[in-house]
């Protein structure tokens, strides 16, 4: 199954790629090392409301490590996290949703034996009563039906409602990408971390993904790790370029594209 042709218009809502300058998240001087290897060295980034920023750089530059730090999957050496101008502890993975942050994974990461609907519902577990006693007494039934409704809405946003009852391991790869994004959207995040959403997709599906990211930016901010430069250049307001764990350039797309350090380190092959 392909993503684009039968899906109809994607941009239902007006896109808003203009920064509002209201800072939503800021990471200052983040350093992480694995043994003797410095994976990130005093990296600072910030993202504003309804902004799409791109993290680019060669393989091993530290992009996914930065996502993992923000997701609580790796321990940091030092660094400050601010959300809405307030300093926060670095979150544990299960606290991410409560902070208004959702992420997708490079490897999609659907639960193969669960249905598409269940896969999406898992992303909204925080919104349903989950106590054993309430479940046993049937008190959670109302919450669960609300959660199902939320999951259907999230699937609608990625045009996958028709797949709700399919087992995840029966889906083709491009469709799994959509379901993974729906799972991230069910919690209505303020910040969405997309890890290579266009990876492994064909040209038509990539075009569809572009439109989806444009749309999403009207509802939340997006931090994008992506190797497809067409996607990065078309959807991002600003870019941070990482190389060997350091930010070597940042700014709007055009200034980064012209930056000689960036051309040398990464974009040279694509420019």
Residues that bind another protein (CB under 8 A): 1, 71-73, 92-94, 96-98, 103, 105, 109, 111-114, 118, 121-126, 128-132, 135-136, 140, 143-144, 147, 166-167, 169-172, 183, 187
Report whether 217 contacts 14 (CB < 8 A). no
Measured in whole angstroms, how far is the alpha carbon of residue 161 from the centre of its chain? 21
Q: In what side-by-side order are the strands of the sheet with 78-83?
A: 37-48, 23-34, 78-83, 86-88
The smaller minimum CB distance to another protein, of residues 154 and 233, is found at 154
- To another protein, the closest distance from the beta carbon of 3 in angstroms equals 13
Give the residue from 241, 235, 269 showing the smallest Cα distance to 255. 241
Kindly tell me which of 173 and 252 has the beta carbon lying closer to another protein: 173
Nearest distance in Å: CB 179, another protein: 13
Q: Say how far apart CA 195 and CA 98 lie, in whole Å.
A: 20
Toward another protein, which CB reaches closer, 78 or 130?
Answer: 130
Quote the least distance from Cβ 223 to another protein, whole Å: 15
The residue among 3 and 249 lying less far from another protein, judged by its C-beta, is 3
CB of 252 to another protein, least distance (A): 31
Q: Which is nearer to another protein, 105 or 263 (CB)?
A: 105
Q: Which residues have C-beta within 8 Å of that of residue 257, sequence separation ≥ 6?
A: 233, 267, 271
87, β-bridge pairs: 82
Angle subtended at Cα 246 by Cα 244 and Cα 251, rounded to the nearest 5 degrees: 125
Q: In the bound complex, what is the minimum distance in angstroms from residue 168's beta carbon to another protein?
A: 8
């Amino acid at each position: 199954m392909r993503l684009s042709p039968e899906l109809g218009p994607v941009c239902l809502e007006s896109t808003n790629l203009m920064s509002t300058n209201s800072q939503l998240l800021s990471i200052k001087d983040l350093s992480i090392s694995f043994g003797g290897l410095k994976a990130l060295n005093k990296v600072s980034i910030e993202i504003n409301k309804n902004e799409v920023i791109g993290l680019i750089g060669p393989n091993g530059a530290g992009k996914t490590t930065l996502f993992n730090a923000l997701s609580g999957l790796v321990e940091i050496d030092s660094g400050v996290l601010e959300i809405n101008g307030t300093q926060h502890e670095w979150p544990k993975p299960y606290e991410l949703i409560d902070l208004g942050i959702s992420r997708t994974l490079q490897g999609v990461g659907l639960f193969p034996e669960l249905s598409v609907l269940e896969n999406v519902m898992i992303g909204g577990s925080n919104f349903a009563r989950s106590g054993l006693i309430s479940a046993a007494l049937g008190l959670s039934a109302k919450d669960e039906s609300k959660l199902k409704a939320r999951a259907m809405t999230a699937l609608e946003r990625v045009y996958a409602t028709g797949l709700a009852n399919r087992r995840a391991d029966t889906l083709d790869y491009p469709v799994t990408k959509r379901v993974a994004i729906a799972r991230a959207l069910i919690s209505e995040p303020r910040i969405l971390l997309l890890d290579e959403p266009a990876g492994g997709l064909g040209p038509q599906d990539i075009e569809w993904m572009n439109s989806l990211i444009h749309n999403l930016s009207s509802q939340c901010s997006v931090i994008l790790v992506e190797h497809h430069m067409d996607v990065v250049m078309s959807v991002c307001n600003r870019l941070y370029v990482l190389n060997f764990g350091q930010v070597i350039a940042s700014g709007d797309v055009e200034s980064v594209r012209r930056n000689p350090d960036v051309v040398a380190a990464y974009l040279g092959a694509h420019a």
